Each structure stands twice: as C-alpha cells, then as structure tokens.
Chain A
Amino acid sequence: MNYIKKLTKAREASSLLFLIVLFIIVGCINTNFLAPSSIAACFNDSVVFTLLAVGMAFAIFIGEIDVSVGANLGFTASVVGSLLRDGHNWLFCFAVGILIGAVIGLINGWGVAVLNIPSLIFTLGTNGVLRGLIYVYTDGAWVENLPASFTAFASKPLIGDLTVFYTVAILSVIAIHILLTRTKKGKYFIAVGDNVNGAVLVGIPTTQTKITAYVLCGIFAAIASILYASRIGFITAIAGNGYEMKAIAACVIGGISLSGGLGSVIGASIGAVIMSSVSRILVFMGFSSDYDNTITGVMLITIVVLDALMQRHAAERIRRERLRARAASASGNEGGEGHE
C-alpha cells in the first residue's frame, strides 16, 4: 500500500524531476541553455501559462474542464488593454479585467454545476461566443500603444533574472497550494472531484464548490490576460487562441489527473514551465520550432496513456488481491479465524 501512496505523492515530484532532467539533457547538448539568464527566461516566459494552468487546475480538480480560458484571456486582454491605452487608472483597469474573468467563470460554473451540462460542450460554447466578442469589441483591429510604463513592468527583474511577475506568480501558487491542502474549504475541490456523491454525504456544498472552481479559473485567466498584455505589448483578435489546450496539457504534464480529485497547483505550474519551454528547447537543440505542436501532442498523449494504464493496473491489482485474499483464507487453517 505504501507503494501507491508514494506513487501518488510523487506525482508532482516526478514532473519536477522530468523538468530538471530535461534541462540537464538540453544543457549537455548546448551548454548555453544552462546560463542563468536562459534558465530564468524559461520560467519568466511561462508566467501566462502558469496562471492559466493554475486556474485550469481548479476546473480539473473537480473533474470538469474549461476550454474557454483562451478566449477569456483574449477578450479580457482586449478590454483591459484598450482601457489602459485610453489612460484609465491602472487599478480600475485591472479590476474591470478580473470582474470580466469572474463573470465568465460564473456563467461556465452555472452551466456545468447547476444545469449539469457536460463541461467540454458548455465551455466550447462560451469559447465561441467570447472569440466572436473579441472581434465585436475590437472590430478586428489590434489593441496597441499600451503605456510604456505598463509594458516595461513585464521585464522588471526581482530576484536575479526572475521577473516580478514570475516571482509573485510562483509565490501565489505556493500560497494557494497551502490554502488548498491545509484548510477545510480548500480540500473541497479535490473532494468533489474524487467522489462527488461522497462529498454530498459529508455536507460539502458541491454546487457551490464547482461554481467557485470555475470563477477562480476565470479570474486566473483574467490575471493571465493582464500579464499577457504587459508582456506582449499589443493584443490581436486571435490572442490566446489555443491557449486552453496548452493549459490543459500543462496540468496533465504536471501530474493532475483529468478524472479529477488528484494533483496540485504546484504540479500545474511545473507543467506550465515544461510546456512553454518546449519551443525554446527546440531552438537550443537546433530544431525548428515547427516541432512544437508535435512534441506537445506526443508528451500529452504519452503521459495520459501511461497514467491511465498505471491507474488501471493498480485498481486491477487491488481487486485481484482482495479476491485472492478471500479465497485464500480457506486454504489455510480453517478453524483459525473463528477463535475469539
């Protein structure tokens, strides 16, 4: 039994190990990759995915999915970007962005938790609507000329070469992780994904928990959109296209089980670093970044297939052990168990 415990405990640890090994291998091939600034860049560049993946992690914890985060990011970035461009107060702009993200999350949560609509289908729908709304809002034009002070923020280093953004993001991830594992309500997300009927019986408000997960997912996408705007400096109508897929991939690579109830936000953030480093690694290894999608796909499929096979194997083993134990007790000393 210890074996299973260790295995599950090691889920995010093995992702971290994978990241380190990957970096070392690439470093052996091209030592430039291991320069502190290069390593730092891997982390810094992952900040948008880190936030998206952490948000997505909440949706996946509860056993659902949210494929609208990419469109959410695009739309929120357009709105926040245009407000910033027009010289509004920064805090006001950020508040509007986060509010939009929260509302989108609320709608998704309502559809999934209250109306019981399969999450993939519902969020696919909101994804389409949001994508269209970006065009309606921007008229297809780029949102440009963001304040230089705002865009400059993205490259401001804090610790060594790590930017303020990444440092704050990763500290928040750690804080969230502690909240999720140490507080009563924090465990609700995992519990709902692990066994929703059981959660009902111990008095966990499952509907509320699901909605909260989606709202958090929306809010994280909105925060990611602000960082996105700052980092890129302009927002196109296709901003964030396909990011939802990469966020899901990051979660899976970070050891979060898509059946829900298993994994951590730390894992999601590690997964995000691996995900976003792929194209950089390709360049350092002398390949075209055209391999990016292929490698992401291979990585994603390999991990989920291995995970599914391992889980099935473990479940099957437990079942067989149990059956064996039942039958085996007969072949031993028959009188033995009755003496009480």
Chain B
Amino acid sequence: MPAVGTSKENNGLLSIRNIHKSFGINQVLKGIRMELGEGEVLSLIGGNGAGKSTLMKIIMGIYQPDEGSIFINGQEVHLTRPSVALAHGIYMVPQEPMLFPNMTVEENIVIGFEDKPAELHKRLVQQMEEVGWHMDLNRKASSLSIAEQQLVEIVRGLLRQAKILILDEPTSALTFDEAESLFKCVNDLRAKGIGIIYITHRLTEVFEISTSVAIMRDGIITLSGQVSEFTKEALVKGLLPADSDKEKENKEEAAHTIDYSSEPVLELRDFSGFGFNHISLKLYPGEILGVAGVVGAGRTELATTIFGRDKVLGGSVILDGKDITGLSTKKVMEAGLNYVPEDRHLHGLFKIADVAVNTTSALLSEKVMGKFLLNRKKEKEVTQKYIDDFRIKVTGQSQLTGSLSGGNQQKIVIGRSLSTSPKVVILDEPTRGIDAGARGDVYAIIHQLRKQGVSILLISSDMEEIVELSDRVVSVFQGRINGEFQKEEINQDTLMAAAFDVKTRKEVGA
C-alpha cells in the first residue's frame, strides 16, 4: 500500500497534545504537539538537549508528563508504565540497543510474553521469514554486531505487534550497507501501515525515508510538516537558533599557505591496528588535514590507537622525528600530541567536577601543575585563559561541568587537550551534538590554532565541516585510506562519494 501521501490528520494513530515535563527546576518539554498517522514515517530532528529523548520516554511510559495528554487511535491513554505502552502497540528501538547480553536472540525477543514457548517460537520464525532476516536464534546477544542487535530490537517490536515504532538514531552506529538494509526495512514496515517516529541527526536520511518531519528545539516543536514542503536548507534554518546568522560572518579566513616541502610534523607509516589497516599519511606544520568517512570507517580507532589506547598491529607513528608508536597515553601527550575524544561524555568530561578541574586534568602529570603539591594558582590561570579565549559561558571556575551546555562542555574538552601545548591535535567529531553558535566558536578556535602553527587532524562525518576547515583531506573507507584531495579538489560531493567508496555506492543505488 503506497503510504507516502497519506494525510496525517485523518487517521491519527498517535496524537500528542500539549505535553509539558520538568525535572526539578529544569523545564525540558514546553508544550509538545505531534501527530503520527498509519504508514507515516515522521523524522524528528533536534540537537542534544532539545528534549527528544524525554518525549520518547514519555511515549514509552518511562516518564510521566506533568501536563498534556496522549491519544492512540483517538482514545486518550495513560501510559503509566512501559508495559502499558507496549500493550498499546508502542515499541522503541533505543539508540544503543538494549539487549540482554547473556541471553540468546530468541530469549531476548520473547521475554515478557505470556504465551507458550512453543507457540512463541512458531510466531517468531514466521515473523523472521516475513521480514526476510536470517539469524541463528540461539546465538548469545553479546556476539551480535550493532546492526544485528538493532534488527533483533525491531523484531522484538514487531512480534509485539507494534503499531507505533520509535527508532532513535538507528544509523548512528551502522555501516553504510547496514543502514541501507535498515532503510529497506523501514519502507516495508511503512507499507504495512506501521507508524514510525524516526529520530535522526542526518538530514539526508530525512529526505530518503520519511514522509513528514518535525524539528524540536529547546522543548518545543519549531517546525513540522510533510517532507515535500521542505528543502534541506529550510530544515537547517529551523535547527539554528534565530540569532545564529551573525556567526557565519567570521567564517572567511585569510589565505593560508602550507609549506609542503617542510618536514611533516606527524607521519604514519603503514600503520595498522584493530579497525584500520596500512594507513600512511603526512601532516605538515600548520595544516588542517581532514579525515573524511562514515561512522565506523575506522577513524576513531586510528586516532585512539595513535593516542596509546589500543594495541598497534603494525607500522609506525613518527611525531616530529620521534617514533611514538605504541607509547602510553601519557608519553604520547608529553611527546606533543593530544586528542579530543569523539564521545565527550564517556571519555572527556568529569561531570561532577568543576570547570577548573576539567580543564587542567591533562596537565596534571606535568611539572607546571606542581611537583607534588597542586599549584592552584597555575590551575586558575590556565582555566581562565581558556574560559576567556574560547568564550566559555560559565558562572565561574567552580561551576560543575555537568550543568553546562554541550557546546561549552566541548570547549572545555578542547581546552584541556590544548593545555599540554601539543604540536598536533586530533579532533574527533569536534562539533557533534552541539548547537550552531558553539559550532561557530569551535571553528574559530580551530582557525586560531592553525595560525599558531598547531597541526590538526580533523576527523568528522560532517562533510560541510570538513570542506569548510580542511587544507587537505584524506578519506577513509573500511579501515583504509581510499582517496586524498588537495584544497581545490575539496567539495562535499567528491568527499561524500569517497566516504561511500563510489563504486559500491553506484551499485547499491542501481
């Protein structure tokens, strides 16, 4: 059944009216309205902290709204518990699949059902055939790839005869092929009349699979409608805060020339590790080298292995003439390389510590912070320098970083990695999940660094970002470098093609 054109008002599968939710004094949702019809794929876009996950948790019955009501098929429902939401045919596939690692695939799918095991097994096999997935049901969940785990989650939802499926950034951990098969699955489900809420950060996906779109910012829906009504530019605009235009102004930088005849400051020679193979590249003084590719291409593994967090399998890393292959993180930092991690919550921030503690944590092993006793004066000095330089919005050095916005948190993590005065900085997705204003600030910081002669390896899945910042780009596909682009060759189309390794892309598209 072709469902693309169905009107969203008439067959309201799910209707959300005026939902408010606060945590303590923190107002997260400020009157959300949302409609979802049968066979509709609603893309929900919004930055971190916009309130998407809170809204989804309310729909799943994990949180209770302070105000407002939810209707399913025109009936008002009170989703007091996840089991109630499940009974109403709502199922959420969380961003990080939440399987039981010690159980088998089958146990994972059928847990929570009342029916007889034998009958459940029959239904499960049927369901798997219907969607056309073949998977050993007796495998332990801990042995599945992320994509497989996501499929298991979806089957879980289908077996529960979910009419409303929530997919929370499902492609963020998937390879290109895996994402393609997921899209296929979404299309099949839509054809079956299932309503899907599709949360994503990627605008291309919005146009690829959804029928309607809603943008959430700061606890309200700022923009919504049929996908056909929008262009990518309009969506970007809807995502940006109203006053963000001025940030664009200082974008243009004076021409910057790099001396490619000089000695490279960082050189990888046939470098291999878990997730990448035979990487060779050179980074020159004052250069920004973009590392393009899709999530899962092996770029983060490359960076963390250089940084001494994982085992080196072959090749060498030369920093300023010194072999730093396989050194510990501390030694790598001392040698003059630092890394801004991709996941700032997991690897970057000390949330219940203050700004000063966070900013100076990488300096701790250096003499400047004192021999044995902590040099508080130096700590204050360093922290203040970065607060001023990076325009970090804090109430003071003693504010806890957990209470800062994503952008300010990211600036602190960047500040920390610069505090060790590195010659080379690896930035891994430096603007992921931060708002447009902070993004502009981070770009300004990167430009400033280059001026100071710091060399930067910029890992990003945001092609716009790579294009805007890089002097030269290498693209990484499935763990190896598959292309190199000089300044004049850099544009989004070529990079995107390289990131998806053109040949493969063409064939999939055909």
Answer whether A and B touch in the complex at a CB cut-off of 8 Å: yes
Given the interface pairs A204-B111, A205-B83, the reply to whether A327 lies near B140 with Cβ below 8 Å is no
User: Complex formed: what's the CA distance from A190 to B102 in Å?
Assistant: 9
Stretch of B12-20, B28-36, B472-480 contacting A (4+ beta carbons < 8 Å): B472-480
Q: Judge if A194 is at the interface, Cβ distance under 8 Å.
A: yes
Chain B: which residue is nearest A329 at the CB level? B478
Interface 1/0 per residue, B268-291 and A, CB below 8 Å: 000000111100000000000000
Chain B residues closer than 8 Å to A201, beta-carbon distance: 60, 82, 92, 94, 98
Among B82-101, those with CB < 8 Å from A are 82-83, 85-87, 92, 94, 98-101
Q: Judge if B6 is at the interface, Cβ distance under 8 Å.
A: no
Q: Is the CB of A327 within 8 A of B276?
A: yes
Q: Judge if A232 is at the interface, Cβ distance under 8 Å.
A: no
Given the interface pairs A191-B103, A200-B82, A202-B86, the reply to whether A323 lies near B298 with Cβ below 8 Å is yes
Please give the distance in Å from B377's CB to the nearest CB on chain A.
37
Chain A residues closer than 8 Å to B103, beta-carbon distance: 190-191, 194
Q: Judge if A266 is at the interface, Cβ distance under 8 Å.
A: no
Q: Is the CB of B143 within 8 A of A318?
A: yes
Among A174-196, those with CB < 8 Å from B are 182, 184, 187, 190-191, 194-195
- Chain A: interface size category: 35 or more
Please give the distance in Å from B161's CB to the nearest CB on chain A.
14
Chain A: which residue is nearest B297 at the CB level? A326
Chain B residues closer than 8 Å to A339, beta-carbon distance: 507
Chain A: which residue is nearest B91 at the CB level? A201
Chain A: which residue is nearest B117 at the CB level? A182
Stretch of A1-9, A98-106, A158-166, A284-292 contacting B (4+ beta carbons < 8 Å): A1-9
Q: Is the CB of A203 within 8 A of B503?
A: no
Chain A residues closer than 8 Å to B86, beta-carbon distance: 202-203
Q: Judge if B504 is at the interface, Cβ distance under 8 Å.
A: yes
Please give the distance in Å from A3's CB to the nearest CB on chain B.
10
Chain B residues closer than 8 Å to A197, beta-carbon distance: 94, 98
Q: Is the CB of A184 within 8 A of B100?
A: no
Please give the distance in Å from B115's CB to the nearest CB on chain A.
9
Q: Is the CB of B102 within 8 A of A261?
A: yes
Given the interface pairs A184-B113, A198-B98, A327-B480, the reply to whether A334 lies near B504 with Cβ below 8 Å is yes
Chain B: which residue is nearest A318 at the CB level? B143
Which one of A191, A195, A324, A334 contacts B501 once the chains associate, using CB atoms below 8 Å? Answer: A334
Given the interface pairs A327-B277, A340-B508, the reply to whether A335 lies near B503 with Cβ below 8 Å is yes
Chain A residues closer than 8 Å to B345, beta-carbon distance: none
Q: Judge if A322 is at the interface, Cβ distance under 8 Å.
A: yes
Given the interface pairs A1-B143, A5-B140, A320-B274, the reply to whether A184 lies near B508 with Cβ below 8 Å is no
Q: Judge if A35 is at the interface, Cβ distance under 8 Å.
A: no
Chain B residues closer than 8 Å to A314, beta-carbon distance: 142
Q: Judge if B251 is at the interface, Cβ distance under 8 Å.
A: no
Given the interface pairs A204-B111, A323-B301, the reply to whether A191 lies near B100 with Cβ below 8 Å is yes
Among B446-481, those with CB < 8 Å from A are 477-480
User: Complex formed: what's the CA distance from A328 to B177 in Å?
Assistant: 15
Q: How many A-B residue pairs have CB under 8 A?
A: 121
Chain B residues closer than 8 Å to A8, beta-carbon distance: 102, 140
User: Complex formed: what's the CA distance from A1 to B60 in Å?
Assistant: 33
Chain A residues closer than 8 Å to B62, beta-carbon distance: 200
Chain A: which residue is nearest B100 at the CB level? A194
Please give the distance in Å from A332's CB to the nearest CB on chain B.
10
User: Complex formed: what's the CA distance from A182 to B110 in Å?
Assistant: 12
Given the interface pairs A202-B156, A323-B274, A337-B504, the reply to whether A331 lies near B480 with Cβ below 8 Å is yes
Q: By DSSP majority rule, is chain A's interface helix, strand, loop, or mixed?
A: helix
Chain B residues closer than 8 Å to A187, beta-carbon distance: 107, 111
Chain B residues closer than 8 Å to A5, beta-carbon distance: 138-140
Among B157-212, those with CB < 8 Å from A are 175, 177
User: Complex formed: what's the CA distance from A198 to B482 in Å?
Assistant: 39
Q: Judge if B132 is at the interface, Cβ distance under 8 Å.
A: no
Q: Judge if A262 is at the interface, Cβ distance under 8 Å.
A: yes
Please give the distance in Å from B123's CB to the nearest CB on chain A.
15
Please give the distance in Å from A329's CB to the nearest CB on chain B.
6
Q: Judge if B114 is at the interface, Cβ distance under 8 Å.
A: yes
Q: Judge if B344 is at the interface, Cβ distance under 8 Å.
A: no
Chain B: which residue is nearest A322 at the CB level? B145
Chain A: which residue is nearest B87 at the CB level? A203
Q: Is the CB of A194 within 8 A of B274?
A: no
User: Complex formed: what's the CA distance from A261 to B98 in Å?
Assistant: 14
Q: Is the CB of B143 within 8 A of A203?
A: no
Q: Is the CB of B177 within 8 A of A337?
A: yes
Please give the distance in Å from A264's CB to the nearest CB on chain B.
12
Which one of A202, A324, A327, A335 contacts B507 once the chains associate, using CB atoms below 8 Å? Answer: A335
Q: Judge if B24 is at the interface, Cβ distance under 8 Å.
A: no
Q: Judge if A306 is at the interface, Cβ distance under 8 Å.
A: no
Q: Judge if A298 is at the interface, Cβ distance under 8 Å.
A: no
Interface 1/0 per residue, A48-72 and B, CB below 8 Å: 0000000000000000000000000
Q: Judge if B296 is at the interface, Cβ distance under 8 Å.
A: yes
User: Complex formed: what's the CA distance from A14 to B83 in Å?
Assistant: 38
Given the interface pairs A323-B274, A326-B478, A331-B277, the reply to whether A195 lies near B98 with Cβ below 8 Å is yes
13 additional contacts, CB 8 Å, given A330-B277, A338-B508?
A4-B140, A184-B113, A198-B99, A203-B86, A261-B100, A262-B102, A315-B142, A323-B298, A323-B301, A323-B479, A327-B274, A335-B504, A340-B507
Interchain residue pairs A-B with the least CB separation, the first 3 = A327-B479, A198-B98, A203-B83
29 sampled A-B residue pairs with Cβ under 8 A: A1-B143, A4-B140, A182-B117, A187-B111, A191-B103, A194-B100, A194-B101, A195-B99, A195-B101, A198-B98, A198-B99, A198-B100, A199-B100, A201-B82, A203-B82, A203-B86, A203-B112, A261-B100, A261-B101, A320-B274, A323-B275, A326-B478, A327-B277, A327-B298, A328-B479, A329-B478, A331-B277, A335-B507, A337-B504
Chain B residues close to A by CB (< 8 Å): 60, 62, 81-83, 85-87, 92, 94, 98-103, 107, 111-114, 117, 138-140, 142-143, 145, 156, 175, 177, 274-277, 296, 298, 301, 477-480, 482, 501, 503-504, 506-508
Chain A residues close to B by CB (< 8 Å): 1, 4-5, 8, 182, 184, 187, 190-191, 194-195, 197-205, 261-262, 314-315, 318-320, 322-324, 326-331, 334-335, 337-340
